Amino acid sequence: MKSIKAYLLLAIAFLPLVVFSQERGIPVYSDYLTDNLYLLHPSMAGAANRNTIRLTARQQWFDVDDAPSLQTLAVNGKLNEKIGIGGILYNDSNGNFSQQGAYATFAYHLMLSRDRIALNQLSFGLNVGVMQEKLDQSGFTQPDPTIVPGAELTDSYFNVDFGMSYYYLDFYTHFTVKNIIPQNREIFDDLETDNQRQYLASAGYVIAPYGSDWSYEPSLMFQYKEETTEASIDANFKVYRNFDFGSLWGGLSYRRSFDGSEYTENLSTVESQKLQYITPFLGINYNDFMFAYTYTYQANSVVLTNSGFHQITLGYNFGESNERYHCNCPAINN
């Protein structure tokens, strides 16, 4: 009985995070580390010297029924030297809740340098998305049908994201605001705020010793949710090795939340823990193709399961290759 009470208290402690985790749009995982920055930042549409297709499939907790899963398809490229376009389709499910959506992206790239010898580029991007969400209550118990209708509820809405990116030689930075327009989701009645704005900021630098086939990329990403003031930071380190056929790369990411939740296991001592993710990843670029695998481990004392999160990313670069930039910038030089 004590253990049941303890886990009940734990569930109550995490309830606000669970409710808000049903965020609008594509959840922010570690996809951007596997050559997929466009998923987070609309300003990256057409920023590279070739067009790209990226397909991802993510599954959490294989030993848990109806565990969170996410699939995305992202395509982007240049119309000309200054204009980029893109599109994203995604399917996100988590237990009885699911959402499907589509984004269309317009980006404008302003080259501040005279030529490609010294990359100095400022980019702006705008996403316009249409989403449909479902909350399946058909399996819920119904003590009061006026509160729990016991049906599948659906809601559709649109929203806008805006982002900026800046590349200067081997340095880069990004800033994106997601879900700019306040929207009420009817399927959650009055239980949820209409403010789902989320801010993403990241920066990194690619270190490439002269004459070496190796390069190293430390980076940081900070995310902040305006209404709940939830915040977290990613510290990342990525390594590249160039070959005649392309490149082999991998790295490690550590995510830590600044917000904690309290729990107890013995009803006498109250503990606190903050969300921590450790994510190793490995990828290969072979000619025009890309493959990557990502594993995420939740490094907390109390977790639902230890099976971790798995993700596969497949990619293809196509179209005429423009002249490569004279920089160590893998996200730009495909």
CB contact at 8 A, 40 and 32: yes
Tokens at residue 91, please?
Answer: 């399917």
What pTM does this model have? 0.84
Give CA–CA dist 262/305, Å, rounded. Answer: 18
Q: Average pLDDT, whole number, for the chain?
A: 83
Give CA–CA dist 187/170, Å, rounded. Answer: 46
pLDDT 10s per residue in the chain (334 long)? 444 444 434 433 343 334 344 566 788 889 899 999 999 999 999 999 899 999 999 987 766 666 788 999 999 999 998 999 999 999 998 777 789 999 999 999 999 987 777 889 999 999 999 998 887 766 655 555 555 555 667 888 889 999 999 999 999 999 999 999 987 766 555 566 778 899 999 999 999 998 899 999 999 999 999 988 999 999 999 999 999 999 999 999 999 999 866 555 656 665 667 889 999 999 999 999 999 999 999 876 655 566 788 999 999 999 877 677 888 888 998 7
Say how many Å lie between the first and final Cα of the chain, rounded. 58
Q: In sequence order, what are the beta bridge partners of 127?
A: 105, 161
Number of C-beta neighbours around residue 15 at 10 A = 11
Give CA–CA dist 101/71, Å, rounded. Answer: 11
User: In the 8-state DSSP scheme, what is residue 323?
Assistant: P
Q: Which SS3 state, helix, strand or coil, does residue 73 take?
A: strand
Give CA–CA dist 93/69, Å, rounded. Answer: 5
Give CA–CA dist 178/40, Å, rounded. Answer: 9
Q: In sequence order, what are the beta bridge partners of 54?
A: 74, 315
Tokens at residue 137, please?
Answer: 């209550």
- Give burial (CB, 10 Å; 0-12/13-18/19+) of 206: buried
The closest alpha carbon to 19, from 268, 209, 187, belongs to 187
The predicted-structure confidence for 222-271, as pLDDT tens digits, reads as follows: 999 998 899 999 999 999 999 999 999 999 999 999 986 655 565 666 56
Residue 14 confidence (pLDDT):
40
Residue 165 confidence (pLDDT):
98
